[in-house]
Structure 1
């Protein structure tokens, strides 16, 4: 049975991945990392998925990292999460080196639990952010082959959805029976998903394009 550590947020892509990997017979280890993001309530959704899939679940608190990385809307409460229409181009919504840091932790965890791989839910539409691209995954794996050379486990980071657009991921998740109202996307991190930030916009647009009913409760239509 293949063993996979999934860098897990409780969002659409990571949840679809978990359901797909379970169907494929993987021994799942879901890893949620609190890096100081304002939407850390996503981890309650991550835990719910782990319980439904009877998967191993770990939540790691590294919130101090967020305090060292101000200037973006995910980890700095002084920076507003803007609505999609007003969202500026640039790095206001990007945590520097986020996936490099989180994947380094995930690979270390994979080594000690004797996993075969680390799985991340990057998709084609994320490629505009450098640490979600195919080039980044390839470069990161090249680094890890050096870092873990003395260990018997040679861990590869894989991104099975990286060639797919979000609406295609929604269709895949629908075929797997993913309970969409048990996933979280919103950057604002309130009691309900706002419906207007960039991630909510992407989520709603993907459901429409996929032709799948969206059961999510949004604060704004």
Structure 2
């Protein structure tokens, strides 16, 4: 059986790390990156210990699967995934729409930025789809933050007749909370396939940072 004392200590460290992370978010980028790298290292060490014990590994995977199912069944999560898939499919035509608070931009090259809303840099790879705030063009939001906004902000003020028409434009109800528009979630990247081996968040981002040249650009971009 999994050691309850060890598990509680780990959860306590995770809570403390999260609290420190939220404080560091408002500080300089160097501090954020240093904290993120340590967090990833700690996670690797924790997973290495778990994988050495088949019982702990089975228990850990069961918890992760349960957590994922609960998240995937949530109406808000399904709505976000549906809209993200729509924007991914229509990224080439986004300039034909007009939104109330943002201007979507799909760049020809990836850029490495910190989202103005969640204050988190994309750690799974650089993005080309961003939403620039009309109130301040220096502030860019990631697609996850945009699709988490109020529906009145998501629906375009111009071109609404060509926008997504599915069930997720309606408020949550008992009729919709257990359904999903599969036609709008066919993008492989929006299904978040499960993997038996736990994914280490941030590895790709850290690799890209190490590959950056002296001019601050990522090699190959």
TM superposition score category, shorter chain reference: under 0.3
Q: TM-score, normalised by structure 2?
A: 0.22
Work out which of the two has the higher radius of gyration on C-alpha atoms and give 1 or 2: 2
- By percentage of residues, which structure has more helix? 2
